[in-house]
Structure 1
Amino acid sequence: MTPFIHPWGQLELQRWPRRRNETLQAWDNADLYLLNTLAERGLSGSEATKTANTLVLNDQQGALALALQQSASPGDASVESSGDSFMALAGAQANGEDNGLTTATPFLWPFDPPGQTPDQIVMRVPKSVALLEWQLHWLSQHIPQGVPVWLAGMDKHLPRQLVPLLQRYLGNGHAEYGWKKARLFSAQAPGQVLAETGYPSMVEAKDWQLTVHAGVFAQQQLDIGARFFLEHLPQALPAGARVADLGCGNGVIGLAALQASPGIEMTFCDESWLALESARDNASRYCPDAQCRFHHGDGLAGLENDFDCILLNPPFHDGHVVGDHVARRLFNQAARALAPGGELRVIGNRHLDYHKVLSRRFGSVAVLGSNAKFVVWRCQQPLT
């Protein structure tokens, strides 16, 4: 593990969830660029360090918030974090414990207003342009005029329209110099709303108009994988069957299962707060009498019930990282959470070849449908 050496000390950081033989680093040069800039040019680089309140957005593993905790005198300066990801919060908390930073950083979910008036904003540019727009709009609503906003990201991940978006929502902003394949942007909060975002958006699916909050997958239309999966969902599940829509996104898969089997108990699960809020909105609109619950967390972790059926359209992106490690973790969770005789119904891109992975975890694996791009499997556990 490479220590994260920043202007006020160093941190031992690991990605979350913890994996053996992890090859991915828990921080990058965009994190370090932001912190170096604050040390040299921001409020944290002056005597105001001891009293500066900082709001951090989209901190992935705690690198920014934990370093800023180390920069300040206890009880004087304060740090708040805000984001959409349960996994990012869990990673920051675990890294805080590992580094002896026992004071928890207050965390704001997307609709929460700041608990304090920040003196400076530090922001990792999110992967989703929609989420970026929504967060800039949120800053214009809640942050006083003139508060400096510092943003950074790795060059290969930055949207081309970032400066125009800063100017649209904040009324100002420009690109700074690049450094080690990272780039910095600076702006100031306008103290008033200058433009609306158009989020949440509405997406047509079946006979529904689904709410999709900013940053949730398939922002403008139902993705082709979900459309194919809808053709291969269970029909007429028995009343009282316990079903999970794992990685629910806007909730369309769970809603379709509820429509086919109104008596089931449905649990919508996602690590994205805005995804779960989308599913909650849609379920309340189209299935107001259904037995639904909403689990914000690491997949099925923390749920005690054995499920009769789990429906899963797994992501193959974890932020900017592409791979099947998220799907594998969800497959493992599903194998443990199914009741005897229960089934996982899962869709995957054909080229990912999930069949081999699934066959090692389930008693039987059968193909229910396929086309040139996708395969749907039914994976069952033995009755005993």
Structure 2
Amino acid sequence: MAISAAELLAELRREPDVEAPDLVAVDATDRLLLDTAERLPEQRVVVVDDAYGALTLGAVAAGARDVRVSQDLLVGEQALALNAGRSGLTGTYRSAPLDAGLFDGATLVLARAPRALDALRELTELAAATADPGVTVLVGGRVKHMTLGMNDVLRAGFTEVSATLARQKSRVLVARGPRPDVRSSFPRCRHDDALDLDVCAHGAAFAGTRVDDGTRLLLGALDGAGQDARTAVDLGCGTGVLAAALARSRPDLTVTATDQSAAAVASARATLARAGLDRVHVLRDDAASTLPDGRVDLVVCNPPFHLGTAVVTAAADRLFTAAARVLRPGGELWTVYNNRLPHRAALRRIVGPTRVAANDRRYTVTVSART
């Protein structure tokens, strides 16, 4: 007997992502988006940034038959696949990159509101340019995280933009009527004079074309990192700035840049290509899971401190554990983090002896030696 959408949503899990008391697999935004969607069995549905499968599998359970999904985070793809397997819905959707092909002919787009306006802007441009002229775009989020700027971004691509009433502190923006001659402007690139580097970014990449202050502090300390290193990994590479700096300053160093974000990987590739550093290997990977144990001399990392909108240490701890696994004995992890976070104790416990290499009023750079 087919499972109902309500039954399915109740069974979804976050696995293999981090579990915590304030983190859920399905939230009020997912439910409101699905309830706002009309005539799902008749729609060609595109889902963007489904967290753990609620939107994709909920649409399928409601009768949708042509469902394409793009998820920025690899762990989200993995969670969706696991949830689909548990619910008997494997093969009922197709994963695809966030590009024009994803939206080709789509009549309904279900998207969770991204934190960055540029991520919404990239989605808007792609949908307006290639979706069906009658497409409806639904963008849902928590009311406290939604801004009037989101309406303005959607209006740049669509003639009609409205908002639903709030429900359980969530709201959906509704966009219709694609404007003519809209084209994607991503990736965008900007020259950083201090680094003499063109930083390229897709919409969802952390910090966009800007180099954040923590990364700058870490860059300033890297001259003393792993002097005898032959192999290095930029773990959670973002737009590839750290990988570019290492590869450019050390021509004999073999550098790998890895991130679970599809936008980060695409951005890093663009940044490195502009710098003529195609020899850097860039891969989409969750916590370096495909790299072998004990082979790396140097790991550099600017770890995230948010999971969605929650501030937790588990995401950074996963990267520290990954660094400890791939480092050879005596190898070094150089990382930067906000001063208020208790990472130094975790680094000692997970990696090995840890010392401070640099700090300022907001950030600390530490060096941890693999024992």
Q: Partner amino acid for 1:265?
A: T
Q: Partner amino acid for 1:212?
A: A
Partner of 1:300, secondary structure, is: coil
Is residue 2:202 matched to residue 1:217? no
Is residue 2:308 matched to residue 1:319? yes
Is residue 2:60 matched to residue 1:61? no
Is residue 2:43 matched to residue 1:52? yes
Relative distance call for 1:246 and 1:112 in structure 2 (3 A) is: farther
The 8 Å contact of residues 258 and 284 in structure 2, kept in 1 or not, is answered as yes
- Taking only aligned residues, the RMSD between alpha carbons, in angstroms, comes to 2.4
Shift of 1:99: 2.0
| Equivalent-residue separation in structure 2 for 1:128 and 1:16 (angstroms) | 25
Relative distance call for 1:153 and 1:19 in structure 2 (3 A) is: closer
| Equivalent-residue separation in structure 1 for 2:325 and 2:22 (angstroms) | 26
| Equivalent-residue separation in structure 1 for 2:56 and 2:279 (angstroms) | 39
Shift of 1:112: 5.0
Identity rate of aligned residues, in percent?
Answer: 26
Find the partner of 2:256 among 259, 267, 271.
Answer: 267
Q: Partner amino acid for 1:161?
A: G
Is residue 2:362 matched to residue 1:362? no
Partner of 1:351, secondary structure, is: coil
Relative distance call for 1:219 and 1:115 in structure 2 (3 A) is: closer
1:331 maps to what in 2? 320
Partner of 2:271, secondary structure, is: helix
Query: Which stretches of structure 1, 4 residues or more, deviate above 3 A after TM superposition?
Result: 4-11, 18-23, 191-199, 234-240
Relative distance call for 1:191 and 1:107 in structure 2 (3 A) is: farther
| Equivalent-residue separation in structure 2 for 1:21 and 1:152 (angstroms) | 23
| Equivalent-residue separation in structure 2 for 1:157 and 1:115 (angstroms) | 25
Relative distance call for 1:345 and 1:237 in structure 2 (3 A) is: closer
Residue-pair matches, total: 367
Shift of 1:319: 2.3
2:93 maps to what in 1? 105
Shift of 1:52: 2.9
Relative distance call for 1:17 and 1:321 in structure 2 (3 A) is: farther
Partner of 1:161, secondary structure, is: helix
Q: TM-score normalised to the size of structure 1?
A: 0.88
Relative distance call for 1:101 and 1:6 in structure 2 (3 A) is: closer
Relative distance call for 1:24 and 1:219 in structure 2 (3 A) is: same
The equivalences for 1:219-368 within 5 A come to 219-235=208-224, 241-288=230-277, 291-304=279-292, 306-368=295-357
Partner of 1:268, secondary structure, is: strand
Q: Partner amino acid for 2:60?
A: Q
Listed as ranges, the gaps of 5+ residues in structure 2 are: none
Q: Partner amino acid for 2:174?
A: S
Relative distance call for 1:10 and 1:277 in structure 2 (3 A) is: closer
Partner of 2:337, secondary structure, is: strand
Shift of 1:327: 0.4
Q: Deviations over 1:278-308 (max 9, x none)?
A: 21122222243x6321110212112226211
| Equivalent-residue separation in structure 2 for 1:349 and 1:96 (angstroms) | 37
Shift of 1:212: 2.0
2:106 maps to what in 1? 118
Q: TM-score normalised to the size of structure 2?
A: 0.91
The 8 Å contact of residues 229 and 298 in structure 2, kept in 1 or not, is answered as no
The 8 Å contact of residues 201 and 214 in structure 1, kept in 2 or not, is answered as no
Is residue 2:138 matched to residue 1:150? yes
Q: Partner amino acid for 2:290?
A: G
Listed as ranges, the gaps of 5+ residues in structure 1 are: none
